A and B are shown apart, each in its own frame.
Chain A
Amino acid sequence: MSQYFHSIRIDTEKCNGRMKCLRVCPTQAIRIRNGKATIIEEKCIDCGECITVCPHDAIIPLTDPFGELTKFRHTVAIPSPALYAQFGREILPEKILSGMKKLGFDDAFDLALTCGEVSFAIQEYLREYKGPKPLISLVCPTVVRLIQVKYPALIDQIIPIEPPRELAAREIKKKKSKQLKLKEKEIGTFYLTPCPVKMISIKQPAEKGKSFLDGAISISDIYGPLLSAMEGIEKGSYRLALENICILGVGWAMVGGICRTLRLKNSLAVSGLGEILKVFDDIERGKLRNIDFIEAYSCTQGCVGGSLTVENVYVSYNKILKLIETLEYEQIKACPDIREVRKLYSQKYFFIKGKFEPRPLKPLDKDIAQAIKKRKEKEDIYKSLPKIDCGACGAPTCLTFAEDIVRGDAELTGCIFNFPKIFKEISQEFSELLNKPASLSQSMSSAKKTSEKGKAIK
C-alpha cells in the first residue's frame, strides 16, 4: 500500500507516452518509463492538470460511478455551485436540482446557502485571529496539499473551518436520519465535483479526519444525462425560481467569490498553480503580512475552471457573474441569518476535527553531509546535460533528470545526447575489429565488450 491515496490513475493501455502531462505537471511528479507515464506519489498534489492535457484520455480521475447510489437507502446530491455555470442562462439552479432528482437522487441540495454560512464563519474567525497573516482558505484541496508539501511553514495559516461541501453533508446526514428514521450511514451524500481532487479529500482528508461525503461524481459524467433529464421540467416563474439562491454562496464557484462576501480591506484572490506559487513564496518571505485573507484555487478562475467541467471556463465564469448581477437586480436576499451563524460558531459547529500536518518532500539523503555531496553531484550532472528539457529521458527537465540520477532512479545513459558518444565508442571498436582480423581472441573479447555497451543503451 502506498502512503498517499491519489485520485488520478494512468491507463497504460491508452497511454502512448506523448509527454504532454510530463510538461504540464506543476510539481514535476510525472516520469515516462518504458513509454508510459507514471506518477511519483509523494510529489503529486492531485491538481488534475495532466487530466486536462492528455490527448488520449489516458489519465483517469477516480470519481464514483453512478451505480454507487444503490448502496444507500436514501441519496442526496450536493452539486458544487460550479454546476450552475455549466448550462445556458435560462437554466437556473432550481431546475438543475429538479433534474438531479429525476436522475435518481432522492434529494438534491443547494450548496450556495451553506457557502454563505461559511463566509460568515470565516469572517468571525478572521475577527478573533491574532497569529501571523494572511489566513488562507482551505476550500481548494490542492492548495492545502501544496502547502503540506511545499510550504509547511504556512500550515497554521490555513483556516480550520470545514468547507461548505463537508458541512452540508454532515448536516444532511443528521437531519435526514432523524426525518426518515434511518441510520446516518444509510444516507448517501454525493458531491458533484468540478475536479478530481475533491475525491481524495473524501477518501483521504488532508487533516486525517473523516469526510462526511460518501462519494464524488464528476460534473462531466453527469452533464449529458442531466441535460436530457431537465428537458421535460416546466420552468417556474423567473422570480420564484431565483428566490432561494443565496447570493453570497453562488460566487464560491469562481475566484474572488469568497473575498467579495467578506468585508475586508486587504484580501487577495489567486487562481492557477503558477500564480499561487509566486504568492505563497511572498507570504513565506513575510512580504504579505498586511494581507488578511487569501483564497487560492489551483484551477484558473476557480472551481468553474476544474478539469471535470464541460463549459468553457470563461463562459462559465461570466455566467456566475451574470447570475449574481441578476440576483442583485431582483433584490433577492436569500441569505443565512448572521446571528444564527454566530451562535453556531461559538458552539464550534464550523470547525474541522483533525489537524493539518506537513508532508515535506524527501531530501536527497537523510544525512546532511551525504545530501550535500549528492546535491553537488546533481549540479555537475546538470552541467553536462544539454539543458533543452526535451523530455526524451522521461523526466520533464534536465534538472529533474539530474536529480533522478542522484536519487538512483535514472541512468545517465538515458539522455539521448549521450548516444552519439556511445555510438562513437562502439563504432571505433568495430573499426578496430575490422582492421585487425588476424587476432581472433582479441576481437572476441572486444565484441563482448561492445555487446555489453549495446545493452546499456537500451
Chain B
Amino acid sequence: MTMSDENVLSQNFEIIGGDFSNAGKASTSIKEILQEIGIDYSITVRTSIAAYEAEMNVVMYARRGALTLNITPEKLHLKLEDEGPGIENIDMAMQEGFSTATDEMREMGFGAGMGLPNIKKNADKFEISSTPGKGTSLDIIFCLNKTEKK
C-alpha cells in the first residue's frame, strides 16, 4: 500500500492461533473504528463479518497471524497474513459447500470456521494465495466510493 501517510489510517492486529478467549476482539475494534470514522453502516457490517471470519480462520487453523486495516477515503483494505498449514486446494476451500462441514464446529461453539466464501460474498474484491506448509494471505477490499462496486 503506497499512499501518502496523511490520508491513510493503518491499524495492526496480532492474532494468536488457538486463542479462543480473545477471538473476535480484532473485528470488534475494527467495527468501532469504522463507526467513529463514519463509514456507511452496511459497509461496516460487511467489513466486520469479513474481519471476523478471517480472524477466526487464524485462531482455528494457524499458529499466528497479522491482520492489517488500511483505510483511505476511497477504500478499505483488510490484509491478513498467517503462519500455518496453508490451504492445499484453494478452489475447494472457496466452494460454498465446503463450509457446511464447519457448521458443526459452529454448533459446538467454536466460531465460524472456514468462512472464505463468506468473506468473498461480503467483500467488493477478494484475493487469496497460499503456500501449503507456510501460510495463507488474504486481501479483502471494500470500496467506499459508492459508484464503483464490484
Contact = CB atoms under 8 A, between A and B. Distances in A.
A443 to B, nearest CB: 43
B45 interface: yes
Nearest to B42: A153
A225 interface: no
A361 B35 contact: yes
B37 A284 contact: no
A61 B72 CA distance: 44
Interface string A255-291: 0000000000000000000000000011011110010
Chain B CB count within 10 A is highest, among A286, A361, A363, for A286
Contacts of A363: 35-38
A152 interface: yes
Nearest to A360: B41
A290 B103 CA distance: 10
A367 B72 CA distance: 12
Nearest to A358: B41
Chain B CB count within 10 A is highest, among A287, A368, A369, for A368
Chain A CB count within 10 A is highest, among B27, B37, B42, B52, for B37
A174 interface: no
B6 A290 contact: no
B39 A368 contact: yes
Nearest to A150: B35
A282 B24 CA distance: 9
Contacts of A285: 24, 27, 48-49, 52, 112
Contacts, number: 66
Given A281-B28, A372-B7, A372-B71, A364 B36 contact: yes
Contact of B112 (A284, A287, A369, A403): A287
Interface string A184-197: 00000000000000
A115 B118 CA distance: 39
A153 B72 CA distance: 23
A314 to B, nearest CB: 28
B66 interface: no
B6 A153 contact: no
A371 interface: yes
Given A290-B107, A364-B36, A372-B8, A284 B41 contact: no
A403 B107 CA distance: 39
Contact of B73 (A290, A366, A372, A376): A372
Given A287-B111, A287-B112, A290-B107, A153 B37 contact: no
Interface residues of B, number: 29
A368 to B, nearest CB: 4
A20 interface: no
Interface residues of A, number: 25
A373 B71 CA distance: 11
Contacts of A376: 9
A221 to B, nearest CB: 38
B37 A371 contact: yes
A360 B28 CA distance: 16
A365 interface: yes
Nearest to B37: A371
Contacts of B42: 153
Interface string A363-396: 1111111011101100000000000000000000
B82 to A, nearest CB: 19
Interface in A269-321: 281-282, 284-287, 290
A358 B27 CA distance: 21
B106 A371 contact: no
A375 B38 CA distance: 11
A375 B45 contact: no
Contacts of A375: 9, 33, 36-37
17 contacts: A153-B42, A281-B28, A282-B24, A284-B49, A286-B52, A286-B112, A287-B106, A290-B107, A360-B35, A361-B35, A363-B35, A363-B36, A363-B37, A369-B7, A372-B9, A375-B9, A375-B33
Interface of B: 6-9, 24, 27-28, 31, 33, 35-39, 41-42, 45, 48-49, 52, 71-73, 106-107, 111-112, 118, 144
